[in-house]
Amino acid sequence: MATDRPLRLAFDTGGTFTDLTIDGLGLYKSSTTPDDPVVGVLNVCDVAAADLGLTRRELLERASQVVYGTTRATNAVINATTAKTAMLLTAGHPDILLWREGGRIGTFDFTVQYPDPYIPRRFTYEIEERVGAAGEVVTALDEAKTIETLKELKETGIESVAVCFLWSILNPAHELRVGELIEEHLPGVPFTLSHVLNPSIREYRRASAAAIDASLKPLMGTFLHRLSERFAEEGFTGRVLVMTSAGGVLDNNSVAEAPIHTLASGPAAAPVAGRRFLGLDELGDTAIVTDAGGTSFDVSLVRRGQIPWTRETKIGRSYYGPMTGFPSVDVKSVGAGGGSIAWLDGGILRVGPQSAGAVPGPACYGAGGTSATVTDACVALGYLEPSRFLNGAMPLHADLSREAIEREIAGPLGMGVEEAAAAILEVATERMINAIEDIAISQGVDPRDAVMISGGGSGGFYACAIARRLGCDRVIVPEAAAALSAVGAFISDLVADFAVTLPTSTDRFPNDEVNRVLSELGRTCEDFIAGPGSDSVEQTVSYSVEARYPQQIWDLEVPLGRSEFTDDEHIEELRQSFHRVHNEVLGIHDEGSAVETMTWRAKVRCELGTDLSGATALMAAPPEETETREVFFAGSGFVDATIRTMASIRTDETIPGPAIIEGPATTVVIEPQATAKRLESGSLVIYPAGVS
């Protein structure tokens, strides 16, 4: 083994593969095990250990820190496999989860059924209590009736409880008391109090966050604790961190107590890695980051050096899926990846969102899958060399790919296998382009002015075609492209976000009250630094406030350059900052208007001192003679393409298309008109138009 220092391991469990990156030693892949993801994590440890000449136990005994990213919580919400959860709401307001915030696809299409609430109406209970908008108690909590309700929950077999009362963000006494009653009368049943989890003034977002979090606690709490236990059984004695949807990491036990943080845990790491790779080659400050795996295609942005976030993340279908209400990295995901199944809809070719996943996988895996997938199309087109898949560890069966495409697509449409395979790839690519355009346009990013960073094990199949269609003049394929999210998790900082609601206005600004709230937030951040962040190398605390013009419905977050307001100049500074943000986001502002502020926030970031040195290095490869292979491109037919390994390409060496660049865990297709070059950082840059 090359080093005796403690190791840091980062895992990302996707729908098809589980990725592992180890600082200074490289990256590895193994099939995900859907029935028990922990098994997949240990399996990829076996792959890495064998390569390093160690046993699994020896590898984990050497590790000081493990970072874990997963889509398990997201899949549980989408597939409705969460716990049987009850919702306790203020009497008279039982339909918060039903009415949501409005909005629908096809505003006037009344044939579309209204979506069901996240927690069924039969498990929603009204509690006699009421707090007013000023925090005053309007109706006292009826404890006797509440206890009767809790006894009913016990008889119903409820597994978790969410509590969301009106204006609990200003006076949480009733929620806190109900929490005590739950502990007394439903011992062992996990619960979530909305004002603790998400102190947002918006009722639906607070209720939805509490409902989602509570429903995930039995599943994710058990899973995350079991993950730590399994690592400990294998000799690991270090710290377990989990990637969160906010683009940072938190301790495993903290996330188990608030598992809503794990929604989009894996995809949120990709832009963290993308921003780092963008900076390595000094390619600007704006990028479109894509992560194409076996099951999904995730798109995120780096805009002017920052990773955009949103509090309007919905799980599943737009307008119909439940909203998390949490600050999360803005990621757009579509069901298009290497395992996406091609099928005919009345003679029209579709690809996804159904996926062959890890089990049984594409037909070419030879594991029982019979559907034609995107990976099968790439095998049929000659992009994938069956004997070299995953560095030869998992040979593919080209005959099974061709049989599946002929049976499912080519035969029914009366075309050749290669033409059908090219059509499958084109349809999948079009879905990916639509996802990129959706998120880029909503964030005001012109793809023609951005660098595209292509990640994911299957990303190299589509990168050149996507960039050409979008007008991007450069595509960056990092050495670690196949495990982009795992690398993002590896380099992420400890990040925590805290909030307090205090409605104010700049024309009647209560300096003392605002300063009290900011001071309270500051102390909370200091406690975090002294606790979970005690071993960090650098810490930063930033403040912001959610604000709006009077009578506006939606808020915008405004960064604060200070943590204390002492005079009128500071208030005017806040007002002008809001005008700038409003103009940037909406293209208009009202210079003479006062500004209303709602929720004050503090974000603490603790850097863990990790970098990319060696974590993404590929195995050294000797110089090789030029090899060619016949591959098929739509519009060009069969052509002789140059075949190179990623590691054998010298810095600044230019590779003209058509070419196939093969890496240990990914393959990059260079179209006939394009060129590629190896950068000093090790990344491959593709010029879709052939300009270098």
Three-class secondary structure assignment of 444-505: CCCHHHCEEEEECCCHHHHHHHHHHHHCCCCEEECCCHHHHHHHHHHHCCEEEEEEEEEEEE
What percent of the chain has a predicted confidence (pLDDT) above 90?
A: 48
The two structure tokens encoding residue 501: 């609601």
Region for residue 628 given its phi and psi (left: phi exceeds 0; alpha: psi -120 to 50; beta: otherwise): beta
pLDDT of 673 > 50? The answer is: yes
Phi and psi, residue 115, nearest 5°? -65, 150
| Helical H segments across 157-202, by residue range | 173-185, 194-197
The two structure tokens encoding residue 137: 């108690």
Handedness of CA 441, 442, 445, 451 (dihedral sign): negative
More confident residue, 457 or 377: 377
Q: What's the pLDDT score for residue 168? A: 95
pLDDT of 270 > 70? The answer is: yes
Q: What's the pLDDT score for residue 605? A: 92
More confident residue, 84 or 443: 84
Residues 481, 646: Cα–Cα separation, whole Å: 11
Q: What's the pLDDT score for residue 621? A: 45
The two structure tokens encoding residue 220: 């994710």
Q: Tell me the three state secondary structure of residue 192.
A: strand
Mean pLDDT, range 541-562, rounded to an integer: 90
Q: What's the pLDDT score for residue 611? A: 61
Q: What element of type H or E holds 229? A: helix 203-233
Where in the chain do CATH 3.30.1490 domains reside? Answer: 494-607
Q: What's the pLDDT score for residue 465? A: 92
Phi and psi, residue 523, nearest 5°? -65, -40
Q: What's the pLDDT score for residue 129? A: 97
Give the type of residue at 18: T
Q: Per-residue confidence at 180, pLDDT binned at 50, 70, 90?
A: very high
Among 86, 176, 67, 77, residue whose Cα is nearest residue 126: 86
Mean pLDDT, range 517-545, rounded to an integer: 93
Q: What is the pLDDT of residues 88-98, one digit of tens each?
A: 999 999 999 98
More confident residue, 585 or 316: 585
Mean pLDDT of the chain: 88
pLDDT of 215 > 90? The answer is: yes
Q: What's the pLDDT score for residue 361? A: 86
pLDDT of 421 > 90? The answer is: yes
More confident residue, 551 or 89: 89
Mean pLDDT, range 63-80, rounded to an integer: 84
Residue corresponding to tokens 């984990």: 60
Mean pLDDT, range 614-630, rounded to an integer: 58
Mean pLDDT, range 277-300, rounded to an integer: 85
Residue corresponding to tokens 């060129």: 675
Residues 88, 42: Cα–Cα separation, whole Å: 40
The two structure tokens encoding residue 213: 């979090």
Q: What is the dihedral of CA 10, 13, 16, 21, to 10 degrees?
A: 0
* Alpha carbon distances (Å) from 295 to 335, 341, 343, 445, 542: 6, 10, 15, 26, 36
Q: What's the pLDDT score for residue 692? A: 60
Where in the chain do CATH 3.40.50 domains reside? Answer: 78-220
Q: Per-residue confidence at 24, pLDDT binned at 50, 70, 90?
A: low
Which range of 30-34, 261-265, 431-435, 607-611 scores highest in mean pLDDT? It is 431-435
Q: Per-residue confidence at 229, pLDDT binned at 50, 70, 90?
A: very high
The two structure tokens encoding residue 691: 């300009």
Residues 393, 56: Cα–Cα separation, whole Å: 18
Q: Per-residue confidence at 380, pLDDT binned at 50, 70, 90?
A: very high
Angle at 110 between CA 106 and CA 116, to 5 degrees: 90
Q: What's the pLDDT score for residue 622? A: 46
Q: What's the pLDDT score for residue 604? A: 93
Indicate the burial class of 418 (C-beta count within 10 angstroms; 0-12, 13-18, 19 or more): buried
Q: What's the pLDDT score for residue 446? A: 85
Q: What's the pLDDT score for residue 616? A: 47
Q: What's the pLDDT score for residue 443? A: 74
Residues 194, 430: Cα–Cα separation, whole Å: 40
Please give the span between the terminal C-alpha atoms of the chain, in angstroms, as a whole number: 39
Please give the CATH topology (third level) of the domain spanning 494-607.
Dna Ligase; domain 1 (3.30.1490)
| Helical H segments across 332-483, by residue range | 374-381, 398-405, 411-413, 417-442, 459-470
Q: What share of the chain is helix, strand, coil (3-state, %, to 5)?
A: 35, 25, 35
Q: What is the CA radius of gyration of the chain?
A: 26
Q: Per-residue confidence at 4, pLDDT binned at 50, 70, 90?
A: low
More confident residue, 587 or 524: 524
Mean pLDDT, range 320-327, rounded to an integer: 81
Q: Per-residue confidence at 614, pLDDT binned at 50, 70, 90?
A: very low
Please give the CATH topology (third level) of the domain spanning 78-220.
Rossmann fold (3.40.50)
